[in-house]
Amino acid sequence: MGYLSFREKTAAWFANIQYHSSDGPLPAEVVADPDFGLMSRHGSRHFAAANRLARKFYDRAELSRKSERAVEENAKASILQRQLADEKTGIASRIKRATKAAVRTFAIKFQGKIDRAKEKIRTLGGNPKKKLVQLAQVEANIEFARILREAPDSFDAEVARTEAWLPNVAGGDVEFDSLFAGLDSDLVISPISFDSSGTARDNVSLETLATDVGVRTFDGSMTNEFGVNDDDEYVDIED
């Protein structure tokens, strides 16, 4: 066996006492050491030194155990941090899907309303529009004729002819046509993209998106424990 230091020999001796509950036999390395006699003469001071050495070894072992526990706690903390990050990512993804679903629902519902309004305007752009304009012209003529009733009897005949003409009026009005065309143009909306990832619209609030497609108020709940509706494919908007 290689050369042992004084401290190592002392530790071996103390270990023998600790684990065998006796004072011997002493390790050969301890007995053969030139300093063995000197250690014996020191008596109780030697055992005090051995106790201090044993205490130091115990403290080192305790420090090692604490270090291992710290490593385990750090590993647990890292796992919890990763789980929290994954949870936040999942919530953000669900909010984004819900927002896109809301925009899609708004667009579909209000595009349908716009299409119905345009159809009604197209209907009004035919005979109803012409009759409306011509009615104003006929009524003006009738009023003018009635003002002149006190004139010769020929004006009575003019009133009768104008009133008879009322159901069969014909004509048009340029100003009405212009107003109709402008209203029809205003009802055209641009297509809405449901895949807005990577654009400036990602940070726009849901209320702003709703306003952009013509929503002023809407009724419905989209919340769960995370503030997001599990059924993110439907938004209740009253027609």
The rounded radius of gyration (Å) of the Cα atoms in the chain is 50
Annotate 202-218 with b (16+ C-beta within 10 A) or e (fewer): eeeebeebbebbebeeb
Same domain for 69 and 146, yes or no, is no
Residue 190 belongs to what domain range? 102-239
Residues 69 and 107 in one domain: no
Q: Would you say residue 218 lies in a domain?
A: yes
Does residue 88 sit within a domain? no
pLDDT in tens, 78-107: 888 888 888 888 888 888 888 888 878 877
Decide if 93 is inside a domain.
no
Q: How many domains does the chain have?
A: 2
pLDDT of res. 199: 46
Same domain, 16 and 109: no
204: in domain:
yes
Residues 120-170 have pLDDT tens digits of 777 666 666 677 777 777 887 777 777 666 665 666 676 777 777 766 655
Query: In the structure, what pLDDT confidence band is assigned to residue 21 with cuts at 50, 70 and 90?
Result: very low
* 195 inside domain: yes
Q: Within a domain: residue 86? A: no
Q: In sequence order, what are the residues at sequence separation of 6 or more whose Cβ sits closer than 8 angstroms to the Cβ of residue 209?
A: 99, 102, 103, 106, 201
Query: Across the chain, which distance is largest between two alpha carbons, in Å?
Result: 162
**Model pLDDT for residues 39-89, shown as the tens digit of each residue:** 555 555 556 566 666 667 667 777 777 778 888 888 888 888 888 888 888
96 occurs within a structural domain? no
Regarding whether 131 and 53 lie in a shared domain, the answer is no
Q: List C-alpha distances in Å: 37 to 33, 50, 157, 231, 233.
A: 8, 16, 157, 88, 91
- Whether residue 50 lies inside any domain: the answer is yes
